[in-house]
């Protein structure tokens, strides 16, 4: 039977969720979840693959904004809920759903698409590259002290609409200068503080603390959940950090020191952090802080390569003609070659479609991986190869896309 790809109707939400559940092996009450998400989802962005009246594939997105190197923000499509029923694999269903969303995203004026990949091997053929690595940091609180004495003060904040607005303001100020970070949806702040219950998962229960600078201005916050642990009748509790954001070095140091000094706590564990944290350099014993689970975080696809490349800042001068190959799953139903002339430097950049001979031909996914400056282009091209039409072009491009400040996305979706 023919598979049809279309935006679903609201009344089809339970069936859509049922298909998602069967693919991700996560049984849940689809009717209750449907009631919760209906007012939150934009149904022009919720795609279903239908065989007759049965939904066999799911795909949805939400509107966001990606911060770029240099501080510009670019409208984007955040992709989630991607699945195909196990009975319908290898039929091109995912390819067709990606194509439908990418076409719609371009019509909406969204130059990039972002996602977190449940499986690494899936998304490269659709133009996505792992662009913003992440890691888990574990701090042995009993095995070190901190070098600097921080200033300012830290205060407990009960989850409320006031504290929600306070941390949202801090996050917004921070994310505008952090390449790789995303604008968050309003309702997620209530979920993050347990102000809103969700039938899709447990309600957050933890602690929130704010940092004020010497003048009394809020400039950082931390959310964490305790985990009880005892060894030989001694407390060795763990603090699981859900989020720690600071607008300056002093607030960053003060919040980590605060966590390390909580009574009965032996270990602080923080997931989805940047691989290169400043934390070890604040410690008298840098070995007490260790990264683990390092790997791909946010994946990026350039839906409009010319617009995307012109929007970010560059620390070096360069003039390159790039030919980026986009596979048939990218939205057109056929292979597309984007040939663009990029002229970039600290003063700004222009990037336009051209018919000039390319200096470099590469896969669009490699360009997505290197786009935010945290992945070397020379490494990203290894997956699908590169054609260097002008000697030295790859070295030039690799240098041009690199950024001194690596990207980081703390927003998971």
Cα–Cα distance between 284 and 33 in angstroms, integer?
A: 48
**Which residues lie across from 265 on neighbouring strands?**
237
Cα–Cα distance between 329 and 124 in angstroms, integer?
A: 10
* Sign of the four-CA dihedral 381, 406, 63, 299: positive
Cα–Cα distance between 331 and 106 in angstroms, integer?
A: 9
Cα–Cα distance between 1 and 307 in angstroms, integer?
A: 40
Query: What are the backbone angles phi and psi of residue 219, rounded to the nearest 5°?
Result: -145, 15
Active site (annotated) includes residue 413: yes
Positions of E strands within 328-388: 336-345, 348-353, 360-363, 386-388
Active site (annotated) includes residue 123: yes
Torsion of CA 266, 271, 274, 275, to 10 degrees: 70
Place of tokens 């600290």: 346
Of 59, 116, 123, 252, the catalytic one is: 123
Of 116, 171, 221, 413, the catalytic one is: 413
Cα–Cα distance between 265 and 234 in angstroms, integer?
A: 10
Cα–Cα distance between 409 and 412 in angstroms, integer?
A: 8
Cα–Cα distance between 336 and 362 in angstroms, integer?
A: 12
Q: Is residue 375 within a helix (H) or strand (E), and if so which, with residue range? A: none
Are 369 and 375 contacting, i.e. CB atoms less than 8 angstroms apart? yes
* Sign of the four-CA dihedral 248, 218, 188, 138: positive
Cα–Cα distance between 29 and 336 in angstroms, integer?
A: 42
DSSP calls for 151-168: -SEEEE--SSHHHHHHHH
Which strands make up the sheet holding 3-7, listed edge to edge? 3-7, 46-51, 54-67, 73-84, 112-115, 289-302, 128-140, 265-273, 237-246, 218-227, 207-212, 153-156
Place of tokens 């923080």: 270
Neighbours of 344 (CB within 10 A): 22
- Could you list the active site residues? 123, 413
């Amino acid at each position: 039977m023919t598979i049809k790809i279309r935006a679903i109707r609201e009344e089809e939400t339970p069936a859509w969720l049922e298909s998602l559940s069967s693919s991700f092996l996560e049984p849940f009450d689809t009717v209750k979840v449907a009631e919760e998400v209906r007012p939150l989802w934009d149904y022009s962005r919720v795609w279903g693959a239908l065989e007759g009246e049965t939904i066999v594939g799911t795909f949805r997105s939400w509107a966001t904004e990606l911060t770029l190197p240099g501080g510009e923000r670019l409208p984007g499509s955040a992709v989630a809920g991607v699945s195909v029923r196990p009975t319908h694999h290898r039929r091109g269903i995912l390819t067709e759903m990606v194509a439908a969303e990418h076409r719609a995203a371009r019509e909406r004026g969204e130059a990039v698409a972002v996602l977190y990949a449940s499986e690494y091997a899936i998304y490269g053929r659709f133009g996505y590259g792992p662009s913003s690595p992440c890691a888990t940091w574990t701090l042995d609180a009993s095995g070190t002290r901190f070098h600097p004495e921080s200033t300012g003060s830290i205060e407990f904040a009960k989850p409320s609409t006031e504290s929600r607005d306070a941390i949202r303001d801090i996050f917004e100020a921070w994310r505008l200068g952090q390449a790789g970070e995303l604008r968050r949806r309003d309702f997620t702040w209530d979920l993050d503080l347990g102000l809103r219950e969700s039938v899709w998962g447990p309600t957050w229960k933890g602690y929130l603390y704010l940092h004020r600078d010497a003048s009394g201005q809020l400039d950082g916050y931390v959310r964490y959940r305790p985990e009880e642990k005892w060894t030989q009748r001694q407390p060795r509790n763990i603090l699981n950090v859900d989020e720690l954001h600071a607008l300056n070095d002093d607030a960053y140091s003060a919040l980590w020191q605060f966590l390390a000094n909580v009574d009965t706590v032996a270990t602080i564990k923080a997931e989805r952090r940047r691989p290169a944290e400043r934390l070890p350099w604040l410690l008298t014993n840098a070995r007490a802080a260790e990264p683990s689970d390092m790997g791909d975080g946010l994946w990026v696809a350039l839906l409009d390569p010319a617009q995307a490349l012109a929007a970010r800042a560059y620390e070096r001068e360069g003039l390159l003609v790039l030919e980026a190959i986009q596979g048939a799953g990218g939205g057109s139903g056929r292979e597309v070659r984007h040939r663009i002339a990029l002229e970039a430097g600290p003063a700004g950049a222009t990037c336009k479609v051209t018919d000039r001979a390319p200096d470099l031909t590469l896969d669009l996914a490699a360009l997505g991986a290197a786009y935010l400056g945290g992945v070397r282009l020379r490494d990203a091209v290894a997956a699908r190869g590169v054609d260097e039409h002008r000697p030295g072009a790859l070295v030039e491009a690799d240098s041009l896309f690199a950024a001194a400040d690596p990207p980081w996305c703390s927003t998971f979706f």
